[in-house]
Amino acid sequence: MELSNSRPPDSLTAYVLDNVRCLIWHAYVFISSEEKNNSWKIKILNEAAAQCWLPIKRHPENSFLQDLYLACSPLAQAQGEVMFTEAFQHKKKRCGRQFPMTLADGSEIWIHEDVHLEEVQPDHWHIVGVLTDVTTHKLSEERLLYLAHHDSLTQLPNRGYLFEVLAKAPSQSMRYLLYLDLDNFKVINDTLGHPIGDLVLFHLSNRLRSVVGMSGDVVRLGGDEFTVLLRPDASKTEAQELAESLLQQIRQPLIVEGQTLYLSTSIGIAATTDLDAPSLLRNADIAMYAAKYQGKNRIVAFDSEMERAVRSRFELEGELRKAIDKDGIGLVYQPILRLDSRKLIGLEGLARWSHPTLGMIPPDQFIPIAEETGLIIPLGLRLLKQACQQAVHWRRQHPDLVVGLNVSVVQLMEETFAQDVIRILEETGLPSEKLTLEVTESILAEGCDPVLRQLWLLYEAGVSLVLDDFGTGYSSFSALSELPLHALKIDRTFLARAIDPSRARAERNKALIRAITSAAQVLDLIVIAEGIEAEQQASLAESLGCQLGQGYHLQRPLTPQALNNYLGQVASASVQDFRESLVFLRAA
């Protein structure tokens, strides 16, 4: 702070009045109740100083006080009159207000007026008012209010704003809400990093704004979740059309930091005339999750049946947590056989959940829930340990027996997954070459480097890797070169269509199977035909180059107890055959 050597004025009060950014006025007022008019005698104490920091528009015929009044908006003038009328009526000793004032250059400042009143005798008042420039404080308040209602990354309104708008909506008014959640966005953060993920969300928010325009408000709820609140007069058709436009725009390639990304979203639509904001948001959220459950990249409108299904799903999630804690989910095993000799090669462990009151719950009901909630991590490790322990027991009778399990992308996203697998192998005593893990092509669609790292760690540790459902998805033949594989399973649909009554359809599918087996042979991969339901399919699969097979025709899945009996009756491949024809066990 720079100190001045000059002496302060003789009057400290005069010094303050000349230098402070405030205006002080005082008045004597007579209130005539009979004539219903007031007599004001007003004086400004520091008018010269006030004119410096209040450069209002001046009129030659007016006093500064008159121009000061005219610089206030008509609304502010009316508010002032109401304030003083109420103060006189209720004999208040203090009142105040904030109002905008327009300066000569057209800019606007905010004024706080603090007024003290004293009735010196009946109907005679002495009033002192202080006008202070609070523009900086007002702007700070507005900034804080803006931040409280907007997302800092995208500058879109946030959840608080959405709830406030809906709370002010007239009752019984129809409002449509779209709920958007990006599909597989977590992979972008995990593979490219959160800074890139933030850029994606920023660019995406601009796309959403450009598509929605004046049709409604785009709101970011958090993460990769957005909503669009349509204007009050929007129709159901407009809501559907806007959702379709958003779906198409989000699918357009997005270039971020030189990388081309392909996004998709699941959209839920909800409408209400009587629900509160949380209920409307919940219904739209339920519809969005229904869109994800139906395959993602689509639009689903909410209905009451959907709510019941979601409630049932949450109840099932609770039961699933209990079942995992109590080891209530076990494995059955489906044998994998050589197609030429029908000798046993290995077993695929399949998760089964027998609930004490709900009965047998199919995997396609509880596995997706386990993946969405992350419960697949503890469940997968428990099942893996169970399979390894049982395999050690069965290998006493069939030393060459191999056991396999399916693993999901969610499991492979865990940084410690490969370490956990190796630890379980060590704890149970199962050689690593006697374990196979099956993955699907969806791991390539995720474009996930962490997943590939886990696969290579398992490969180097001696665990065999099988690509399941080959041919159903994303970049099938490129998968053979990208992944560290030992075998692949041809999806059951190819074999089913290869015996189709339509000759042309059957021949095309036979040609596809030949192409797959030829490519696998070049890469030293074993080919497993799954879904063999008849001898005709088994013979055809062998003739087309598949070495192994599994399916109900060869053997249905067996409980561990039933498998004990089965293993006592079936022959298994010899060690030599195993080494020559299977990739499950490395050649010495």
CATH number for the domain harbouring residue 66: 3.30.450.20
Residue labelled with tokens 């229904």: 290
345 near 336, Cβ under 8 Å?
yes
Q: Sign of the C-alpha dihedral, residues 191, 194, 199, 203?
A: positive
The residue with tokens 């004990």 is: 564
Which of 100, 135, 170 is the last residue before a domain boundary?
Answer: 135
CA 525 → CA 276, 304, 516, 570, 584, distances in Å? 58, 50, 10, 26, 10
Task: Tell me if 566 is assigned to some domain.
Answer: yes
Report in angstroms the alpha-carbon separations of 190 from 94, 198, 266, 356, 417: 60, 12, 20, 39, 15
Q: Are 458 and 437 in contact (CB under 8 A)?
A: yes
CB 545 within 8 A of CB 318: no
Predicted local distance difference test score (pLDDT) of residue 237: 94
Give the number of C-alpha atoms closer than 13 A to the C-alpha of residue 4, restricted to the C-beta side. Answer: 4
- pTM score over 0.75: no
Residue 143 lies in a domain: no
Q: For residue 304, what is the enclosing H or E element? A: helix 304-325
Contact by Cβ (8 Å): 243, 269: yes
Query: 182 and 117: one domain?
Result: no
For strands 526-529 and 299-301, give the pairing: unpaired
Task: Give the pLDDT score at 402.
Answer: 93
> With the C-alpha atoms ordered 249, 250, 251, 256, is the resulting torsion angle positive or negative?
positive
Let me know whether 108 and 167 are in one domain. no
Q: Which residues of 503-519 are buried (b: 16+ CB within 10 A; e: fewer)?
A: eeeeeebbebbeebbeb
**Domain with 172 in it: what CATH number?**
3.30.70.270
Query: What pLDDT tens digit does each residue of the chain (588 aa) get?
Result: 333 444 445 555 555 555 567 899 999 988 876 555 678 889 998 888 888 889 999 999 999 999 999 999 999 999 999 999 899 988 999 999 999 999 999 999 999 999 999 999 988 999 999 999 988 888 877 777 777 778 888 889 988 888 888 888 766 678 899 999 999 888 888 778 889 989 999 999 999 999 999 999 999 998 899 999 998 888 999 999 999 999 999 999 998 888 888 899 999 999 986 678 888 898 999 999 889 888 889 999 998 888 787 778 888 999 999 999 988 999 999 999 999 999 999 999 999 999 988 899 999 889 988 988 889 999 999 999 999 999 999 998 888 899 999 999 889 988 899 999 999 999 999 999 999 999 987 776 554 678 889 999 999 999 999 998 887 655 456 667 778 999 999 988 889 999 888 888 889 989 989 998 998 888 889 999 999 999 999 999 999 999 999 999 999 999 999 999 999 888 877 434 444 444 443 332
What pLDDT is recorded for position 289?
Answer: 86
The pLDDT score that the predictor gives to residue 455 is: 93
Judgement on whether residues 79 and 164 belong to the same structural domain of the protein: no
Q: Is residue 313 part of a domain?
A: no
468 shares its domain with 354: yes
- Residues 160, 248 share a domain: yes
Same domain, yes or no: 384 and 238: no
142 is a domain residue: no
Look at residue 508 and tell me if it is in a domain: yes
pLDDT value, residue 290: 87
- Asked if residue 535 is part of any domain, the answer here is yes
Domain boundary among 135, 166, 196: 135
CA–CA separation, 39 and 149 (whole Å): 46
| Total domains, the chain | 3
- CATH number, domain with residue 533: 3.20.20.450
Residues 156 and 108 in one domain: no
In a shared domain, residues 282 and 337: no
pLDDT confidence of residue 521: 87
Which of 259, 287, 302 is the last residue in one of the domains?
302
Same-domain check for residues 122 and 167 = no
Q: Rounded to whole angstroms, how far apart are CA atoms 440 and 477?
A: 13
Residue 103 shares a structural domain with residue 241: no
Q: Is residue 397 domain-shared with residue 488, that is, in the same domain?
A: yes
316 falls within a domain? no
Handedness of CA 245, 250, 251, 254 (dihedral sign): positive
61 lies in the same domain as 120: yes
Q: Which domain holds residue 438?
A: 326-581
User: Does residue 320 belong to any structural domain of this protein?
Assistant: no
